[in-house]
Amino acid sequence: MARRVDPHEAIWSPEETPMRLLMEQVPGLLWTTDRNLKICMQWGMGIAATKVRPGALIGHSVCQFLGSADRHSTPISEHYDALRGVVSHFEYIWKSSVLEIRVGPLRSASGEIVGCLGAAVDVTGRKQSEEQALFQARHDALTGLANYREFMDRLEREVHRAERSHRSFTLLLLDLDGLKRINDLQGHLAGNRALRRLAAVMNEHCRSTDLAARYGGDEFAVVLIDSDRGMAETVAQRIERRLHSDSGQPPLCVSIGIGVYPDDGRSPAELIEAADQRLYRHKKTQAHRAVSAV
C-alpha cells in the first residue's frame, strides 16, 4: 500500500530538508494564510499551553485557531490589515498564555499580496516576571503597601481625574505613634511587626479602588476615591477603633490627618500639607491628653 503523503511534508524537496528541520524547531508557531484567512502552512514547536500537532492547523481559519471571529478586533483585524500591506506587532491573551504575535503580508514572487504571514511566541513567563518586577518597584517590601513613588503618582492622577469629573476625593495621612519607642525597647523586629499590623488594618478598611501606601518610615497614607470629609472621618475612626481593639502586642495608636479635594487644595502638595497640619494637631492633642492623664 502506498504511503499517504502529508501535504505539509510534500512541499519540501530533498535539498530543502535541512530548512524543513530548522523551521520545525523554531520556538512558537509560524503560519501562512490565503486571502480568506485560511491557514495554508504551519511550522514551529508550538505553544506550551496547548499541544498543536505539526500541520494540525492547516485548512482551519485563523478565527478558529485564535478563538475570535470579530474582524474588527485583535487578533483578526491585524490579519485583515496585513492583506492591505500593514505589519502589526501586538500581545494577545490566548487560552492561558500571553502570545507575542507579528502579522504581515505574504507576497508572491511578483510582489502581489496573496495572504498573511504570522508568527507567535509564548511570553507568559516574561510577562509574569515583568509584572512582578513592576510590583516590587512600586510597593513597600515590608508591608506590601504601595510605596512613595506609587502613592505620589496615584495622587497626581487622582487630582487630574477629579478636575475632569468635578468630584471630590480625600487623603488620609497616618503616623504610627511611638514606633521609635517600640524599636528601642523591643527591637526592630517588633517594630516591623507593628508596621505590618497597621498595614493589615489599613487594607481591611480600604476599598479595592482606594490606595493604601507606606511613604515613609512610620508614615502612611490612604487615597479614598470618590469620597468626602464625612467618609474620610468614618474610615479614620474605623482604623483607630480596630487598632484599639487589636489584642496584638504592643498596643498600637495612630495619629491621622485628612485632606479633602478641592476644599483643602487642588494639587497633591496642597492636599498633603492640609492633611499633615491636621495630623500634627491630632498628635499634639494626643500628647497633651497623655500628659494630663499622668
Residues marked active site are found at: 218
Q: What span, in angstroms and rounded, lies between the C-alpha atoms of 294 and 288?
A: 10
Q: What span, in angstroms and rounded, lies between the C-alpha atoms of 35 and 72?
A: 16
Give the distance, in angstroms, between the CA of residue 207 and the centroid of all CA atoms in the same chain: 17
Q: Single out the residue of 104, 112, 102 nearest to residue 44, CA to CA.
A: 102
Asked if residues 294 and 190 have their Cβ atoms less than 8 Å apart, the reply is no
Helices (H), the chain: 7-10, 17-24, 62-66, 76-82, 124-137, 148-165, 179-186, 188-204, 229-245, 268-293
Asked if residues 270 and 207 have their Cβ atoms less than 8 Å apart, the reply is no
Asked if residues 64 and 85 have their Cβ atoms less than 8 Å apart, the reply is no
How many CA atoms are closer than 13 Å to the CA of 190, on its beta-carbon side?
A: 15
User: Rounded to 10 degrees, what is the CA torsion of 251, 277, 232, 229?
Assistant: 150
